[in-house]
Amino acid sequence: MDELIRILNEIRPGQKFAGTEDFFDQGLLDSLDLTALVAALESRYEVFMDVDEIVADNFRNLAAIKELLVRKGVNI
Amino acid sequence: MSENSNPLHKRRVLLVGDTTLDPLARLLERNPEAPDVQTSAAPYGQVFQILLDPNQSAWKFQPDVLAVWTAPHLTLPSVGKLLRFDFASAPEVYDAALREAEQFADAVLRAALHVGLVLVPTWILPQHERWIQALTWRKGVGLASLLAEANLILARKFAAQQNIVLLDAGYWQASLGRPAHDPRMYAVAKILYSQSLFEKAALEIKAVMRGSLGLGKKVIVCDLDNTLWGGVVGDDGPHNIKLGAPDPVGECFSTFQKALKGLRSRGLLLAICSKNDEKFALSVIDEHPAMALRKGDFVAWRINWKDKAENLVGLAKELNLGLDSFVFLDDSPQERDQVRQVLPQVFTPDLPKSPAELAPFLTALNCFETSSLGQEDFERTAMYQAERGRKEVLDLSGDVENWLRSLKIEVQATPLRRESLPRAVQLLNKTNQFNLSLRRLEEKAFWDWAEAPGHAVYTFHVSDRFGDFGLTGLASLSFDGSGARIVDFVMSCRVMGKKVEEALLGFVCAQARAAGAQHVTAPFFDGPRNGPAKDFFSAKFQNADAVLDYARVDIPSQIALKEEGVALAL
């Protein structure tokens, strides 16, 4: 989880991601950050997000991102 | 003074494209390297409107830099048609695409009239567009041939424009080793390029901006053992170090030395910092048959057993250059770590472990970027060596006044000319120490300022019996009412300590008075590193308003000042 937060803070420095319910609704991330986040997760965890997975729902909080990564076989 | 003359202000970069460039805007802003930038990405798909119409809202951002990044198949409709075989005649659509490329280039030329610097990445297509390989390079028909011709149109149209830089996006793409385009992100957010291409683009744009502002590195300091050659010469002996063919490791170090020599030839200064016996190491450098670099290729060295940070400080002092213009190359992680901790301003990169990667690593560095390459650059090492000769004479005589007289210094003053503009701007932007106002301007902005009524700019060429220093001084005046203000007063560190600044100031004041100025002021910008200029001028002021006291301004008798084409009327 710490690593996820680190990746998120590289995209949006200074934001408090831990404990936030919805990064997008609460203004921590926007749709352009989403594309940067996908690229960062792909390069760090060597996974591939398909086009139908690149939707805010999959990335709205730490638990959602973790679930997506676990589904892709990442041990997190 | 306009706002962009403040050296500390963020450069404003306007991004204009036919796809979403916001990821690039964010990467540029978050990149910690100089210069700081503030970006604005115009809504995509309005390229021609923005380029052609200065009243478009995108221009309200008042950019210093305009980056125009377009995709050939989107901005040139006929390229799209050739790509998708949507034509009746390939030659017709090919020619139409070239005409569209000309129109695009003309639109960029129009936009370049009202911005300091324009950056245009060349046109690239995704690697997955195989097209028809047997036909793609057929002139008048093929896609690869068309793209090359279209890019050459840009190169030809922009060749005479000092303030337009074509960026080699083909090189960015080739350097990635990964796809440069991302079809998913295009579907999601009209982002054509992959994050890794944007990352590369941000680094390169920053590097080119640094080059245009004269912030490129100037000195490369190398270790010797396991950096310039394989092995430890003090232990292994000169005949057993790995250098030169047929040994493959030796071949790699030779290639690395040749790459360093190439940088030396284009104007970088090479120096040595090594823990060795000085006499022995220098004899190896001059006598080993496979050395590509000889003693004459280095402008200074510290070959001793002191710590490297201390030696780097000594080198900076000897060369009269700031440590932030230094790159330090050393194979030892411990030495690098020590230098990084003590001198964080020195760029100390990790070197690749494999000798085979040394030369490619060096030639891929973007810290040596420059916006021009001229005679000054090619002769730089020779000039620094002449300086060693001068200092040796001083050390022998010890009498500064006599030494100065013996140098037979000549200063040639000339009004700023178009042909000397690149060097003048390089001097203006690269000089940190003897710089009155620290004004940083791109070529076009500086030329426009010089041409404006009430302004005068002079350049100074300095030489002595040891050699030619080249264009090493610059001063500008702004006349206002009954007085004149010295706006820029810049002198290369190469000519410091020779009273040249006295001659320059004497000349500038004489010009101002001859043009009717009753008093001359020289307010300085209080920067962190322009102490030499601040001290020099402070001692000349007659009051707190930075008004110069003529009694303290005089051309030293040891310096011969010549004027060329200096007209008094402004």
Residue B135 DSSP label = T
pTM, 2 dp: 0.81
List the beta bridge partners of residue B456.
B477
Q: Looking at the complex, does the CB of residue B184 fall below 8 Å from at least one CB of chain A?
A: yes
Contacts of A54 in chain B (CB under 8 A): 184-185, 188
Kindly tell me if the per-residue pLDDT of B219 is higher than 70.
yes
The confidence score (pLDDT) of residue B567 equals: 52
User: Shortest CB distance from A36 goes to which of B20, B23, B188?
Assistant: B23
* C-beta atoms of B195 and A35 within 8 A: yes
What is the distance between the alpha carbons of residues B370 and B322, in angstroms, rounded to a whole number?
17
The confidence score (pLDDT) of residue B75 equals: 97
Name which residue leads in pLDDT, B169 or B4: B169
Kindly tell me if the per-residue pLDDT of B570 is higher than 60.
no
Alpha-carbon distance A9 to nearest alpha carbon in chain B (angstroms): 12
In B, minimum Cα distance to A33 occurs at B23
* C-beta atoms of A13 and B30 within 8 A: yes
Q: Looking at the complex, does the CB of residue B191 fall below 8 Å from at least one CB of chain A?
A: yes
- Residue B475 in contact with residue B502, Cβ under 8 Å? no
What is the distance between the alpha carbons of residues B119 and B13, in angstroms, rounded to a whole number?
10
In A, minimum Cα distance to B23 occurs at A32
Contacts of B196 in chain A (CB under 8 A): 39, 43
Q: If interface means Cβ-Cβ distance under 8 Å, which residues of chain A face chain B?
A: 13, 31-32, 34-36, 38-40, 43, 49-51, 54
The confidence score (pLDDT) of residue B214 equals: 82
Alpha-carbon distance B23 to nearest alpha carbon in chain A (angstroms): 7
Q: Provide the H-helix boundaries in B86-164.
A: 90-111, 143-158
* Cβ neighbours around B222 below 10 Å, total: 22
* C-beta atoms of B184 and A13 within 8 A: no
User: Shortest CB distance from B23 goes to which of A32, A49, A50?
Assistant: A32
Alpha-carbon distance B185 to nearest alpha carbon in chain A (angstroms): 7
Neighbouring residues of B409: CB distance < 8 A, sequence distance ≥ 6: B462, B463, B464, B498, B500, B558, B559, B560
* Mean per-residue pLDDT, B35-62: 95
User: Shortest CB distance from B187 goes to which of A32, A40, A51?
Assistant: A51
In B, minimum Cα distance to A43 occurs at B196
Alpha-carbon distance B191 to nearest alpha carbon in chain A (angstroms): 9
Kindly tell me if the per-residue pLDDT of B569 is higher than 80.
no
* Mean per-residue pLDDT, A17-42: 93
The confidence score (pLDDT) of residue B8 equals: 55
What is the distance between the alpha carbons of residues B558 and B270, in angstroms, rounded to a whole number?
32
- A17-56 burial: b if 16+ Cβ within 10 Å, else e: beebeebbeeebbeebbbbbbbbbbeeebebebeeebbee
Helix (H, G, I), strand (E, B) or coil at B526: coil
Q: In the Cβ-directed half-sphere of B308, how many Cα atoms lie within 13 Å?
A: 28
The confidence score (pLDDT) of residue B400 equals: 81
What amino acid is encoded at B29 in this protein? E
In A, minimum Cα distance to B192 occurs at A35
The confidence score (pLDDT) of residue B566 equals: 65
ipTM of the complex: 0.90
Q: Mean pLDDT score of chain B, rounded to an integer?
A: 92
Kindly tell me if the per-residue pLDDT of B50 is higher than 80.
yes
pLDDT digits over B421-442, tens only?
989 999 999 888 899 999 998 8
The confidence score (pLDDT) of residue B335 equals: 96
pLDDT digits over B526-556, tens only?
988 898 999 999 999 988 889 999 889 989 9
Kindly tell me if the per-residue pLDDT of B1 is higher than 70.
no
* Cβ neighbours around B390 below 10 Å, total: 18
Alpha-carbon distance A26 to nearest alpha carbon in chain B (angstroms): 20
Among B458, B459, B453, B426, which Cα is nearest to B442's?
B426
pLDDT digits over B361-420, tens only?
999 999 999 988 888 888 888 888 888 788 777 777 777 888 888 889 999 999 999 989
Find the helix packing angle between B400-407 and B380-397, rounded to 10°.
Answer: 140
What is the distance between the alpha carbons of residues B340 and B336, in angstroms, rounded to a whole number?
6
What is the distance between the alpha carbons of residues A33 and A39, in angstroms, rounded to a whole number?
10
Contacts of B191 in chain A (CB under 8 A): 35
Q: Looking at the complex, does the CB of residue B187 fall below 8 Å from at least one CB of chain A?
A: yes
In the A/B pair of chains, how many CB contacts fall below 8 A?
33
* C-beta atoms of B188 and A36 within 8 A: no
The mean-pLDDT minimum among B37-41, B269-273, B422-426 falls in: B422-426
Contacts of B22 in chain A (CB under 8 A): 32
Q: How far apart are the first and last CA of chain B?
A: 19
- Residue B462 in contact with residue B561, Cβ under 8 Å? no
pLDDT digits over B514-529, tens only?
999 999 999 999 988 8
Contacts of B185 in chain A (CB under 8 A): 35, 38, 54
Q: Which of A7, A32, A48, A52 to mutate to test the interface with B (most CBs of B within 10 A)?
A: A32
The confidence score (pLDDT) of residue B413 equals: 95
Alpha-carbon distance A47 to nearest alpha carbon in chain B (angstroms): 14
In A, minimum Cα distance to B196 occurs at A39
Kindly tell me if the per-residue pLDDT of B83 is higher than 90.
yes
What amino acid is encoded at A53 in this protein? E
The confidence score (pLDDT) of residue B564 equals: 80
User: Shortest CB distance from A51 goes to which of B184, B191, B196?
Assistant: B184
Kindly tell me if the per-residue pLDDT of B289 is higher than 50.
yes
Residue B530 DSSP label = -
Kindly tell me if the per-residue pLDDT of B458 is higher than 90.
yes
Q: Which of B185, B194, B197, B198 to mutate to test the interface with A (most CBs of A within 10 A)?
A: B185
* C-beta atoms of A35 and B187 within 8 A: no
What is the distance between the alpha carbons of residues B105 and B157, in angstroms, rounded to a whole number?
7
Q: What percent of chain B has pLDDT over 70?
A: 98
* C-beta atoms of A35 and B26 within 8 A: no
Question: What would the two tokens of residue B266 be?
Answer: 């284009």
Alpha-carbon distance B188 to nearest alpha carbon in chain A (angstroms): 7
Q: Which of B21, B22, B186 to mutate to test the interface with A (most CBs of A within 10 A)?
A: B22
Q: Which of A12, A30, A34, A35 to mutate to test the interface with B (most CBs of B within 10 A)?
A: A35
- Residue B301 in contact with residue B286, Cβ under 8 Å? no
Q: What is the dihedral of CA B368, B369, B374, B375, to 10 degrees?
A: -10
* C-beta atoms of A32 and B22 within 8 A: yes
* Mean per-residue pLDDT, B316-320: 91
Kindly tell me if the per-residue pLDDT of B4 is higher than 60.
no
